[in-house]
Chains A and B, each alone.
Chain A
Amino acid sequence: MAEQETQEQSSGEPSGERGIYEGLAYYLMAPAWVTLFVFLVVPLGIMLVYSFLTKEFRGGVIWEFSLAAYDQFFFDRGLFGDEPARIEWTYIGIFWRSLWQAGLATLLCLLLGFPTAFVIATRSGRWKFVWLFLITIPYWVNLLIRTISMKFLIRDNGPLNEWLLAIGVLDKPLHLINTDFAIQLGLFYSYLPFMVLPIYASIERYNFALSEAAADLYASRWYTLRRVIFPLVKPGVVAGCILVFVPSLGAFLAPDLLGGAKKFMIGSLIEEQFKGNIGNWPFGAAASMLLLSLVLVMLTCYALSQSRARR
């Protein structure tokens, strides 16, 4: 819901030309500026600084400049650090895996979310309300509880397997938990409403007279979907994909609970660096910085493509 409003918000100009509360702007804006600057922008800056410091073995840092964190991320210098540097694939691999997992989860959301959004947008009156209501409810339910429920359902000896065995579809339990598919399913389950709502908003604005025109020109139903409807609702699709992909990339709960400890993703890698006394704060800060830059680059590309499309 909130995301639709973001779009309207960013494109909308203030309604009052003169401004009724002119002159009060700084006083009214100050609390938001101060809070967000002091407790978000400054912390992000300190995190950047920390990523260039030396690690303290019991957690925390020593105030000494060091590139060790980034070095550890990208290069392997052997056990004692005296071998020639080779590229270290472990962490790059984890980032790559996370990108891949988040991408597949986004694709899953799109494949199921687009038809759902289409169905919702073409219902009338009461039914549209019911579908929208049902899609948004899970978004309001605690993410942790949803993930735990999914874990409970797909366990090796959980209800899903029990039923499939009972009705004879399977001979032996389906092993889902702690697999990549379980992570994708969990991410799909966590962020589906983010995909459906922007697409729904776009399809709602689509004029079905265009479909009629296409049909008059002998376009088939699916050809119309591909060449007429899809290009027109693409902004909603792109927005939905970003809204699913970005949180999936840094997700922690789904990989941790459904993927098990072995299936590492960025979220778990970062979390581990700050757990108790065994972590490595500069390394965690460096990994967070890399994740943040990745996300900001993607969002900037998106914003640029949007403004180009508007012009």
Chain B
Amino acid sequence: MSRRTNFRHFPGFMALGLLCMFLLYAPLIIVMVYSFNDSISVTRFDSVSLRWYRDVFFGLEAGKFRQATFNSLTIAIGAATVSTVIATCASIAMLRAGRFRGKLLSFPLLSLPLMVPEIVTAVATLIFFSAIGFAAGHATILVAHIVFCIPFAYLPIAARMQSIESVYEQAAQDLYASRWDSFRLILLPLLMPGIISGFLLAFIISLDDFIITNFVKGAGVETLPTAIFGAAKQGIKPNIMAISTLLLLTSIVFVSLSYMFGRVESNNKRE
């Protein structure tokens, strides 16, 4: 009887869902486990040790990875900051400034970096900088990252702004607040969760990027993904697994924080 009335149940779906989870997590867990392997060979598991973590921080290639991490972080912070500012301005224009000429084309333009395949963007950017004679390096990576981070910052900010009714700002203006004050004191605080999640998304996307960076980085400048790719090309050594584990844990901490942040926000809204 109860079997007949449960319309939300399909036999086998749960098993396939669990299979999905297994396929997603098995490789990550394996790499985490093997990063604590004492053996130099990646095929056999000897005993637990932190040997390869010491190698990452103090070993032969430590300098290279430290420099790459520094480059990655500075570029990601720069790109996320600039693209978040650009995206915030754009979303105010799109959602709070009434009609204007070119509005219809603005949304496709803002989402263009999502529609063009990454490798095509990479080729176009490389050719562009070479055509105008701009030397590849930190600056070219930064510019390229700002461009493709814009939609990732824009979408959460615009989504948040859509859920904020404009009556609050209208009320403020009825009480003679200037437009700057109504933005600074009313809209901005309400918008903050959207801005923060837009910034975090842009930051992660920039940190994650390999293809575009690989094309526009020029000789000598490495970010963490390009450095790891270069090292992994010669075979997956245990120190690569240690770095991967560190990055993986960083990502998980990051996304957990942003989830918790979002949950606290929605709880507040409910009260």
Contacts and interface: CB of A to CB of B under 8 A. Distances in A.
Interface of A: 2, 5-6, 8-10, 12, 14-26, 28-29, 31-33, 35-37, 39-44, 46-47, 50, 60, 111-113, 115-116, 118-120, 122, 131, 133-138, 140-146, 148-153, 157-159, 162, 185, 188-189, 192, 196, 208, 211-212, 215, 221-222, 224-225, 246-247, 249-250, 252-253, 257, 266-267, 270-271, 274, 281, 284-285, 288, 291-292, 295-296, 299
Nearest to B228: A144
B270 to A, nearest CB: 14
A24 B97 contact: yes
B162 to A, nearest CB: 6
Given A8-B162, A136-B255, A142-B208, A189 B95 contact: no
B123 A144 contact: no
6 contacts: A16-B170, A19-B96, A43-B125, A46-B127, A50-B131, A137-B252
3 closest cross-chain pairs (CB), A and B? A19-B98, A250-B117, A43-B128
B64 interface: no
A159 B117 contact: no
B112 A19 contact: no
A300 to B, nearest CB: 10
Among B95, B112, B119, find the residue whose CB has the most chain A CB atoms closer than 10 A. B119
B69 interface: no
A141 B123 contact: no
A121 to B, nearest CB: 9
A161 to B, nearest CB: 10
The dominant DSSP class at the B interface is helix
A142 B251 contact: yes
B175 interface: no
B190 interface: no
A141 B246 CA distance: 11
Interface string B206-235: 011011000100000000010011001000
Given A37-B109, A60-B130, A225-B10, A137 B123 contact: no
Contact of B92 (A8, A28, A116): A28
B35 to A, nearest CB: 10
Among A148, A267, A285, find the residue whose CB has the most chain B CB atoms closer than 10 A: A148
Contacts of B126: 274
B124 A47 contact: yes
Interface in B135-194: 143-144, 146-147, 150-152, 154-156, 158-159, 162, 165-166, 169-170, 173, 179, 182-183
Contact of A142 (B94, B183, B247): B247
Contacts of B111: 6
B254 A246 contact: no
B208 to A, nearest CB: 5
B238 to A, nearest CB: 10
Given A15-B165, A19-B99, 14 more contacts: A2-B201, A8-B162, A20-B173, A28-B93, A32-B90, A47-B128, A112-B19, A113-B20, A115-B14, A150-B27, A157-B43, A253-B211, A291-B119, A292-B120
B60 interface: no
A25 B98 contact: yes
B17 A36 contact: no
B31 A152 contact: yes
B99 to A, nearest CB: 7
Which of A9, A46, A145, A158 neighbours the largest number of chain B CB atoms within 10 Å of its CB? A145
Given A2-B152, A143-B210, A149 B244 contact: yes
Contacts of B252: 137, 140-141
Contacts of A138: 24-25, 28
Contact of B94 (A14, A116, A271, A296): A14
Contacts of A9: 107, 155, 158-159, 162
A40 B166 CA distance: 33
Contacts of B173: 20
B264 interface: no
A295 B128 contact: no
Given A20-B173, A46-B131, A215-B4, A5 B159 contact: yes
A219 to B, nearest CB: 11
Contacts of A22: 97-98
A21 to B, nearest CB: 5
A46 B124 contact: yes
B62 interface: no
B48 interface: no
B109 A33 contact: yes
A57 to B, nearest CB: 16
Contacts of B110: 32, 36
Contacts of B182: 20
Given A21-B93, A31-B90, A46-B128, A149 B116 contact: no
